[in-house]
Amino acid sequence: MAHRIAQNACQLSRRVQFQVRVRLWHKQECTICEVSTCVEGIIPALAGVLTDESKIRCVLRRQIPMLNEHTTTGRAAVLGAGTMGAQIAAHLANIGWQVLLLDLTPDHAKQGLERVSKLKPAPFYLPELASRIEIGGFDSDFPRLKEADWVIEAVVEKPDIKRELWTRVQDYVNDRAVLSTNTSGLSIHEMSDDCRDDIKRRFLGTHFFNPPRYLKLLEIIPRRETDPDIVEGVARFAERVLGKRVVIARDTPGFIANRLGIHSMMVVFP
C-alpha cells in the first residue's frame, strides 16, 4: 500500500506535499523524513501514522489557509532594528507590506535601518522601498502594535530579554495577529511561557537566515499550543510570498540547521 501511495503522491504539487509535513509535525506523529524535500521521504512516515489509504489521500489534498487575506498589503511590526530585525523589515517591505520597525528608541531604529540600507548585497529590491518602513521606540510606539498582522521579535539572543519583552508586547497586539520570534536556537517555550494562553496559540519561532532576502531557508518552530492553522498559514505565506523554503522544527536547542551544523563541525574537527 505504501508503494501505491508514494506513486500517487509523486503526482501532487510541492505545496500540498509540504502541507503534509506541517500537519503531521504539529501533531508530533512524524519522523525526520518529513523535512525531506522528496515525496519518497515523506510517505513512509505518513503511512506509519495513517494506515487507511483514503485518510492519507484526504490529508494530502487538504488546503492550506493563507496567513492573511491580502498577503501583499499587510502590516508588520518588527521589534529590534539590529542586523536581522532591520533586514527582515526590509524583506517585508520588498513584498509590499507596511512595516513598523521598533527599537529601544526611535534613534536606535533609525540607525539600524540606515546600516542595513548600506549593506551589500542590498536587502531592498529598490532603495526607495525603504519608505515603506516607519521607525519608532518601544516605550512610545507599543500601542501601534494593534495595527500589525504579524509581530516579529528580533532582539538580542538572550532568553530573559526576549521573555520580558513578550510579557509586555502581549498587552498591545490585536487578537488576530501572528506572533513570532526570530532566534537561531533559543527555546520557544521558555521565552513565551509567561504569556497568556491566547498568545501561546498564535506564537511560534521563525528562524530567518542571514541575509534573509537571499538565503531561502526558514525554520518554523511552533509551541505545543500553537494553532496548526497558524503554522500552515505562516509556512504557506513564507513559501509563496517571501520566496522561502520552509522546514518545521521541534523546539530543541539549535533546531535543525544549527544542530546539523554543529554535529558536522564536531565530526570534521573532533
Task: Convert the pLDDT of each residue in 166-199 to its tens digit.
Answer: 999 999 999 999 999 999 999 999 999 999 999 9
DSSP codes joined into one string, 18-73:
HHHHHHHHHTT---GGGG-SSHHHHHHHHHHH---HHHHHHHHHPPPPPSSTTTTS
- At residue 258, the pLDDT reads 73
* Statement to judge: residues 128 and 200 lie in one domain: yes
In a domain, 270, yes or no: no
* Statement to judge: residues 105 and 237 lie in one domain: yes
* Statement to judge: residues 27 and 110 lie in one domain: no
Distance, in Å, from the CA atom of 18 to the CA atom of 39, rounded to the nearest integer, reads: 9
- Cβ(162)–Cβ(155) under 8 Å? yes
* Statement to judge: residues 235 and 169 lie in one domain: yes
In a domain, 83, yes or no: yes
Look up the pTM and report it.
0.74
* Statement to judge: residues 134 and 110 lie in one domain: yes
Task: Convert the pLDDT of each residue in 57-98 to its tens digit.
Answer: 333 333 323 354 445 679 999 999 999 999 999 999 999 999
Q: Which grid cell is 236? A: 504557506
Mean of the per-residue pLDDT values for the chain?
Answer: 79
**DSSP label of 183:** -
Bridge partners (DSSP) of residue 34 are none
Task: Convert the pLDDT of each residue in 125-143 to its tens digit.
Answer: 999 999 999 999 999 999 9
Is pLDDT above 80 for 253? Answer: yes
* Statement to judge: residues 84 and 177 lie in one domain: yes
* Statement to judge: residues 140 and 217 lie in one domain: yes
- At residue 241, the pLDDT reads 92
**Residue percentage of the chain with pLDDT more than 90:** 66
Nearest to 103 by CA among 160, 24, 161: 161
* Statement to judge: residues 89 and 221 lie in one domain: yes
* Statement to judge: residues 134 and 40 lie in one domain: no
Distance, in Å, from the CA atom of 225 to the CA atom of 192, rounded to the nearest integer, reads: 11
In a domain, 205, yes or no: yes
Distance, in Å, from the CA atom of 221 to the CA atom of 21, rounded to the nearest integer, reads: 13
* Statement to judge: residues 203 and 133 lie in one domain: yes
State the total domains in the chain: 2
CATH label of the domain that carries residue 89: 3.40.50.720
Task: Convert the pLDDT of each residue in 95-113 to its tens digit.
Answer: 999 999 999 999 999 999 9
Domain that holds residue 40: 2-61
The SS3 call for residue 218 is: strand
Is pLDDT above 60 for 250? Answer: yes
In a domain, 269, yes or no: no
- For range 10-36, the mean pLDDT: 38
In a domain, 267, yes or no: no
* Statement to judge: residues 17 and 93 lie in one domain: no
